[in-house]
Amino acid sequence: MGNCKKHHDGDLDIRDLIKLLESENNQIESSFEGIEELLRRNEKLAEQLLGIRTKRGKY
């Protein structure tokens, strides 16, 4: 593992990487918020039209 030299002398360190993962997760969460309600409504409409529950994958 001698060639793994960069983890301390790069511009970023492991802490930055952790922060990055957390902040990307927040951004992804908020971009998903836009579809959250639409997803629910779509599921409900599909259920009504199909006359069955689709939530738990029962067809």
Partner 1 sequence: MGNCKKQDRKRPELDINEISKRIKFESKQIQKTFGDIEELLKKSQRLMQRLLTNRNNRMVNGNTFFNVAEAPAAAPIVPIPPQTPEALLQITDFQRILLINISEQLERLQTLRAALRAILVSGAATISEISEEAPVQALIFAEILAEDLSVAQREIQEVRNNLRNLVLTLAGTFVI
**One-letter amino acid for residue 45 of the chain:** L
| Residues of span 1-59 touching partner 1 by CB under 8 A | 1, 3-4, 6-8, 10-18, 20-22, 24-25, 27-29, 31-32, 34-35, 38-39, 41-43, 45-46, 48-50, 54, 57, 59
CA–CA distance, 19 with 28 (Å, rounded to integer): 14
CA–CA distance, 37 with 26 (Å, rounded to integer): 18
Rg (CA), the chain: 21
Residue numbers at the binding site for partner 1 (CB under 8 A): 1, 3-4, 6-8, 10-18, 20-22, 24-25, 27-29, 31-32, 34-35, 38-39, 41-43, 45-46, 48-50, 54, 57, 59
